[in-house]
Amino acid sequence: MENNINYKHSSNRQILIIGGGFAGLEAAIKLRKYKHEVTLISERDYMFVYPISIWIPIGKQSFEDTKLSLSELAKIHGFNLIIDKITKIESKNNTVYSETTTYHFDYLFLAIGMGKVQMKGLNHTHSICGKPEESLIIKDLLDNLLAKGHGHITVGFGGNPKDLTATAVRGGPAFELLFNISVLLKEKKLKDNFTLTFFAPMEEPGKRMGVKAYNKMDIFFKHYKVKTHFGKKIKEFTENAIIFEDDTVLTSDLTLFISGGDGLQLIKDSDLPTNEAGFILINEMCRVEGNPHVYAIGDVAAIIDHPWAAKQGHVAEIMADVATYNFHNSVTHKEKRMSYWERLHLVCVMDSGDGAAFVVRTANKEIMIPLPIIGHWMKKGWGWYYKNSKKKRMLRLPGM
């Protein structure tokens, strides 16, 4: 079926956003502010607020409260919404396809996130960074193990050999889940019956947060009674173990592993320019190399390689802001352009269940402030703020 999207208001410019996560939603909101007619296509009917999903497995956040209804947001901000899964992209023909429909566009904003590196036995692991529903599977498995009363829990993350930049690694949520599980075990007075081990193939996992933050990780591991296993490549995962390159074995009843970020097959199969891992090549204006009509924002893009750079929700929002500003100025013939390079920084409130570490990194500065108790409530507060500000129930704070 052909779809020349039905616009509510007259406009001859067809703007499509694909993806209803941090990047896509922010792009839709900003484009509406610039008064452009815009259609967002998402395979899910909700935006999943990943940063607060870390509490789903430990029973301190409901799945429903982690979702934002896209149809409600579409009404509030006035964008068109189509729930559909895009299966083919022909950027040079200005066309994307789903199983049933063909969509034409004049301008495209790609915001479909990233995939994960496949590894031997990955099916024996579960990731908090996978599909939203996986957080509920982890909850069930953790509940069952806790009901059994004893066992070995392992939590880790890996990288992508095809993209050695830190931006293909997602470590923060692994630390957050690990420390939250430790707090849960303590609350249930089960700490002595379980071993909790953090593993990663890198020599210095977490160093991207900065030397100061990295050096303090040992204090965290000690405080939360976590064993560590670094610096050995993972050969494979089995039902009850992780096997490393030197054939050493880490026993595991529940393996929670965040595999390295990888480009989605949909992007790899498209005519878009990508790096070796399959992330879309963009310039500092977030425009796809060689195609002035297509922008790529958020996790789907190959972001600039700084040792401290990370793909984060707030980076996805910065990229959406930059891309929509540049798009708007370009179609309204204004000269000014914005660069996401200039606004890139790492900021994270790394939750530990009973506190958090506030981490900031830029080219010139690194800050790490441990925030016992209050840090946890700051992150909870951010989740509340994010959802309510998107629903226009409160004013948005500048830069947040």
Among 50, 107, 179, 386, binds ligand FAD (CB under 6 A): 50
Of 314, 309, 284, the C-alpha closest to 363 is 309
Q: Which amino acid is at 152?
A: H
Q: How far is CA 194 from CA 55, 224, 251, 350, in A?
A: 20, 12, 12, 23
Residue closer to ligand FAD by CB (options 44, 343) is 44
**Cα radius of gyration rounded to whole Å, the chain:** 21
Please identify, using beta-carbon distances, which residue of 25 and 250 lies nearer to ligand FAD. Answer: 25
Q: Which is nearer to ligand FAD, 46 or 199 (CB)?
A: 46
Tell me the CB-side half-sphere exposure of residue 253, using CA atoms within 13 A: 16
By the 10 Å C-beta count (0-12 exposed, 13-18 middle, 19+ buried), 360 is classed as middle
- Residue among 16, 22, 105, 226 that touches ligand FAD (CB under 6 A): 22
Amino acid at 24: G
Report the residue from 40, 41, 122, 282 that binds ligand FAD according to the rule CB under 6 A. 41
Tokens of 286: 């977030």
Q: Nearest distance from residue 216's CB to ligand FAD, in Å?
A: 18
Binders in 343-362 for ligand FAD, by CB under 6 A:
348
> Which of 311, 345, 361, 387 touches ligand FAD by CB under 6 A?
311
Among 32, 60, 67, 85, binds ligand FAD (CB under 6 A): 85
By rule CB under 6 A, what count of residues binds ligand FAD?
Answer: 34
Residue of closest CB approach to ligand FAD = 21
Q: Do 74 and 51 meet the contact criterion of CB atoms below 8 Å apart?
A: no
Q: Rule CB under 6 A: is residue 51 a binding residue for ligand FAD?
A: yes
SS3 281: strand
Nearer to ligand FAD by C-beta: 24 or 151? 24
Binding of ligand FAD by 156 (CB under 6 A): no
State phi, psi for 348 to the nearest 5 degrees: -155, 140
87-106 mask for ligand FAD (x: CB under 6 A)?
--------------------
CA distance 175 to 102: 42
Q: How far is the CB of 147 from ligand FAD (least distance, A)?
A: 24
Q: Does residue number 314 form part of the binding site for ligand FAD (CB under 6 A)?
A: yes
Residue 209 sits in the site that holds ligand FAD (CB under 6 A): no
Angstrom CA distances, 216 to 140, 208, 221, 379, stand at 32, 13, 9, 20
Q: Facing residues of 262 across strands?
A: 115
Binding residues for ligand FAD, rule: CB under 6 A, are: 18-24, 41-44, 50-51, 53-54, 85-86, 111-113, 128-129, 172-173, 266, 298-300, 311-314, 316, 348
